[in-house]
Structure 1
Amino acid sequence: MVDISVENPDAPRRGSVAVIAVTLFLNVTGFTLILPVIPFLVGRYVPPDRVGLYVGLIVSVFALCAFAAAPVLGALSDRFGRRPVLLLSLIGSAIGYVIFGMGGALWVLFLGRIVDGLTAGNISTIFAYIADTHAPAERGRIYGLLGAVAGFGFMFGPVAGGFLGALSPTMPLFVAAAITVLCAFWVYIALPESVARDKPPGPWQWRQLNPLGQLAGVLRYANLRVPFFAAFCFFFAGAMLQSNLSVYLKDVLQFGTTSIGWTLFGVGVMDIVSQGLLTRVLLPRLGSRMLTRLGLAINAVGFAMIASLVFVPRIEFLAASIFVFTLGDGLFQPAMSEIIANAAPPDAQGRVQGANQAQQSLARMLGPLAPAILSPMSISAPYWVGGAVAIVGMAALWIRQKATR
């Protein structure tokens, strides 16, 4: 049995937030460094008209592996501690980047993303660590702060990756690997363990290796079902946008890679504003339940505005659309993270956060398939449908709120 209560006097506190924040920044920066060059690396091995297909498959393979691994890594972090699992995840990512950068054949690129996906427990472990070390009332604020830190990484990474990719398409991969190794070293020397043991761990249950079983087990907690459903709607809709936005902007506004990179830079800026500033102000006043519904509503409006670019193909309207969409995104995520963390029993934080990461990976695996079906009907259809999915998630939260009054 483990003791991960925030009342544990040995649990690390304030200083660890800085360590976690630096870890998250380096991790997100490393991940986003490679985004601008993936199509060029894939293009070495497939005809030009097949690049989009294989990029989508590589993204889906990573998400599938992350879906399979996340609950297992979460259970391992409950059993053996957050720190060793975080180190394993970071080293796995570094190895995956190196394999992808070495290339030589298309299957090697897939292997690199498979290795990275199977060790993709970084974010869920970080969130479980915060839940271990902070009282429920503090978690939303910390998650908002970490969201802003991730926004800095998302803002910096693609731009730097674009510049490095101009020198060599493989350079961002090796720089990302170096950054991730640096991050692992930082965790090793600076991050204390948050799981304190008062008894030897119980016997390992092999059913914990089944991601669907883990997810179903977590959903036995009745107060987690609707939040998980709403989060799935949010990430499914977001994956539709992320997988299709560059193609959409190229077709509607004739954007090139540089313009798309600066658009992603704007997304990072808004993440910082919404998660780092607005959430800190609004969460104590409105509460996490209200903020999740408000975030999804604003998110749906942002989807509708992006879809309307076909009628108003202007950069100013794109900027307004990205502002609204990212505002909703930034309000929803830290508030929902607080709801899920507070609903989980103290000794199940790793499993719950792992299951949450698994359902996000499932959404990110299925979401990119929707634009492939919808875009031939209408280029803007994925964004109208994305807005509708966000509204479904908001409605589920609203009905739950009414039922529990």
Structure 2
Amino acid sequence: MSQTVRSRVSGATRGKLFILIVTNFVDMVGLLMILPLLPYYADELGGGGMEVALLVSSFTAAQLISAPLWGRFSDRHGRKPALLVGLAAAAIAYVVFAFATSLWVLLLSRIVQGAGGGTVGVIQAYVADSTEPQNRAKALGWLSAATNLGVALGPPLGSLALLLGRPGPGLVAATLCVLNIAFASRFLKESRDMTEASVKRPGASRQAIMRVVTHSREPAPRLIWIYAIAMGAFSGMTAILALFLLDEWAVGPDRIWMVFTYLGVISVITRAGILGTLVDRFGEVRLSRAGLVLLAIGLSAIPFAGNYVLLALAIALVPLGTAFTFPCVTSLLSRLIPSNERGLYMGVQQTFGGLARVIVPLWAGFAYDQLGHGVPFYTSALLITGTIFLGLGIDAGGGTKVAAAEPAAESAA
């Protein structure tokens, strides 16, 4: 079985995924060149904490609104055009960022960038189109590993680009984006069956969003809720982790990078290295459930760690849990959604996940200040525990219902 899987992934599918992964990696490098510098640019233009929060949240808000629209667009017109238009929007946003002379212009750049950045669901749909069902979690793991590498490389490149002057980071990011557009235009192949797309139209974005709310007992909406709640819980932890480590462990700005590098290295190794093997052995349902258990244990254990070794072990469970959970849940969702609505529902998943990334961190900040330093970790762990029960029964009959919902995968040629 595993030998067959390796053979399939090593052919035309692997080539298509490589181009997509490179495109996504370069896009993430450009994004993270800009993001760490945002507070400094805002401060230079007279902004304070509230203005910085608005700049950050405006990106998320634009992303939330645009994600289902991009997904539906890609279902009708193809994944490649949607990705290219999204990259073009990002390039424009970076140029606006580079020459922003007021907070309003800076805000405009963030809104444009967020609107173009709503294509995460399209990228996930591309992976689902291009891979056989049993290989999707592995491929999504590779994709997220590349994303984490981009997150690690973007900030130092952004700081280096400041040597070119204040517009430097924005202009370098825009240049990378233009090169990325040229690369994707030349080498990225369309994954969507456009003959099917001309016959089977996706539903409306609003209907898809409401279905997740009104039909929450169905397997696909339950998977979206699991993804969103787990993503929110993880984001709540990351929002206050640095502050917690400063207050409880005296880990200051000069050492906090070690913690996030540690998280990133574990995540990359797990997703790019061992995730595929574990999916082949245990299956996506069991592995995602194990990931949720690890994530809940890690979150709840962090406040109880009595020394650096225990703290490191508790923190390590978090990237392990997310690496096992998110690719598997997204892969399972792709099996339950017909290909003509795959982009739409992947976008809806990102919308719900994005809402959770806004709501839970706000709660975490309030709870940390008002209720105790450990409370955000406990509540996040409690949320994760709830998703474990939410997922019970999705694999009824040994997982046959999930597998049966997936039609034959599109050709990887």
TM exceeding 0.5: yes
Assess, with a 3 A threshold, how the Cα gap between structure 1 residues 381 and 109 changes in structure 2: closer, same or farther.
farther
Partner of 1:325: 318
Q: 1:232 aligns with which of 228, 234, 244?
A: 228
Gaps of 5+ in 2: 1-10, 400-413
Contact 2:75 2:344 in 1 (8 A): yes
Range that drifts further, 62-71 or 114-123: 114-123
Query: Residue 242 of structure 1 corresponds to which residue in structure 2?
Result: 238
* Counterpart position of 1:357: 350
Checking the alignment, whether the CA contact within 8 Å between 2:64 and 2:118 is kept in structure 1 is no
Separation in 2 of the partners of 1:165 and 1:250? 28
Aligned letter for 1:37? L
Q: Deviations over 1:196-237 (max 9, x none)?
A: 3337836989x83xx543322467592202111111111111
- What residue in structure 2 maps to residue 37 of structure 1? 37
Deviation (angstroms), 1:163: 4.9
Secondary structure of the structure 2 residue equivalent to 1:201: helix
SS of the residue aligned with 2:255?
Answer: helix
Q: Corresponding residue for 2:282?
A: 286
For the 8 Å contact 2:228–2:354, the answer to whether it is kept is no
Unmatched runs of 5 consecutive residues or more in structure 1: 1-10
Q: Aligned partners of 1:264 and 1:199: how far apart in 2? A: 44
Q: CA deviation at 1:169?
A: 6.4
Q: Deviations over 1:228-280 (max 9, x none)?
A: 11111111112212333333334334444443333322222111111112211
Structure 1 residues 385 and 57: CA distance shift in structure 2, 3 A: farther
- Which residue of structure 2 aligns with residue 394 of structure 1? 388
**Identity of aligned pairs, percent?**
26
- Residues 10-31 of structure 1, C-alpha deviation per residue, up to 9 Å, x if partnerless? x963321110111121122222
Structure 2 partner of 1:381: 375
TM-score (norm 2): 0.84
Aligned pair in 2 of structure 1 residues 199, 393: CA closer, same or farther (>3 Å)?
closer
User: Which amino acid in structure 1 is aligned with residue 268 of structure 2?
Assistant: I
Matched, 1:55 2:49: no
**Cα RMSD, aligned residues only:** 2.8
Summarize the Cα distance change of 1:154–1:127 in structure 2 as closer, same or farther, 3 Å threshold.
Answer: same
Structure 1 pair 342–141 and aligned structure 2 pair: CA distance change class (3 A): same
The match for 1:5 is: none
Q: In structure 2, do the counterparts of structure 1 residues 248 and 401 end up closer, same or farther at CA, with 3 Å as the change threshold? A: same
Q: Does the 8 Å contact 2:67/2:119 carry over to 1?
A: no
1:402 Cα deviation after fit: 6.4
Per-residue deviation, residues 170-217 of structure 1 (Å, max 9, x unmatched): 543333222222222111110111223337836989x83xx5433224
Q: Tell me how many residue pairs correspond in the alignment.
A: 386
Shift of 1:399: 5.3
Which residue, out of 259, 263, 271, partners 2:259? 263
CA distance in 2, matches of 1:115, 1:227: 30
- 1:107 corresponds to which residue? 104
Deviation digits for residues 265-316 of structure 1 (CA, Å, limit 9, x no counterpart): 222211111111221121111111111111111111221233346xx4x654
1:282 maps to a residue whose letter is L
> CA separation in 2, counterparts of 1:125 and 1:189?
19
Q: Deviations over 1:36-85 (max 9, x none)?
A: 322222222456xx42x433332222111111111111010011111110
Whether the aligned pair in 1 keeps the contact of 2:68 and 2:351 (CA below 8 Å) is: yes
Question: What's the TM-score once normalised by structure 1's chain length?
Answer: 0.86
Q: Does the CA-based 8 Å contact 2:78-2:194 persist in structure 1?
A: no
1:6 is matched with: none
**What residue number does 1:15 align with?**
15
Q: CA deviation at 1:401?
A: 4.6
- 1:170/1:36 CA distance change after superposition, 3 Å: farther
How far apart are the structure 2 equivalents of 1:56 and 1:249? 22
